Amino acid sequence: MDSRFGRKFQDDDSKVDQDVDFEVENYLQYKGEKFSEVFDANTYILMTKAMDGYDAAGKLNGLENALEGVTAELLIIGFYSDWLYPPQRGKEIQIAAMNNNIKSSYVVLEGEHGHDSFLFHNDQYSEIISKFIQS
């Protein structure tokens, strides 16, 4: 957040709205308007709530129980800049997998796009996934 926006002011020529002062405000305003054109606002609220309320352990009384019976090998990837699912949550899944004797790897990568980092190309990200699939 600091490296991308910090407390930088938006220059007057590219303001999407005259009430906007900061770059981060301008970005959110711009994204909000774009979203409202293609997305139903109420659906978005509902999806946000669903994402916030997501719990990998669900009603299974802990991650360890949730992973019981998994036979696949796991590759857990997190991004330092992801605030929605921060790296520590990935580590918790890794430890629960290890407690279940599941072959699993946990990698944290740099990514400039926060939670969306997993949608963007990144050499290391591609390399790790391709090596995992080939191994």
Partner 1 sequence: MAKKLTKIITAWVPKDSKVIDFGCGDGSLLKELMKTKKILGYGVEINNKKIEECIAKGVPVIKQDIDKGLHEFESSNFDVSIMARSIQCLKDPSLALNRMLKLSKRCVVTLPNLGYWKCRINLASGKMPVTPELPSSWYETENIHLCTIEDFESLCKKERIKIKDKVFLNSRGKQSTLVSMSPNLLATEGVYLLEKE
Q: Which of 10, 26, 81, 94 binds partner 1 (CB under 8 A)?
A: 94
Tally Cβ neighbours within 10 Å of residue 56.
Answer: 14
- Of the candidates 90, 79, 88, 91, the one whose C-alpha atom is nearest the C-alpha of residue 116 is 79
Q: Which of 5, 30, 118, 132 binds partner 1 (CB under 8 A)?
A: 132
Cα–Cα distance for residue pair 20/37, rounded to 1 Å: 20
**Which of 29, 122 has the CB closer to partner 1?**
122
Segment contacting partner 1 by CB under 8 A, of 13-21, 23-31, 51-59, 105-113: 105-113
> In whole angstroms, how close is the CB of 54 to partner 1 at the nearest point?
23
Tally Cβ neighbours within 10 Å of residue 78.
Answer: 22
Q: Which of 54, 99, 112, 116 binds partner 1 (CB under 8 A)?
A: 99
**Which of 51, 129 has the CB closer to partner 1?**
129
Tell me the residue type at 3: S
- Of the candidates 57, 55, 75, the one whose C-alpha atom is nearest the C-alpha of residue 65 is 57
Largest distance between two CA atoms of the chain: 58
Is position 28 an interface residue for partner 1 (rule: CB under 8 A)? no
Residues forming contacts to partner 1 in the complex (CB under 8 A) are 73, 75, 91, 94-95, 98-99, 101, 103-109, 124, 127-128, 131-132, 134-135
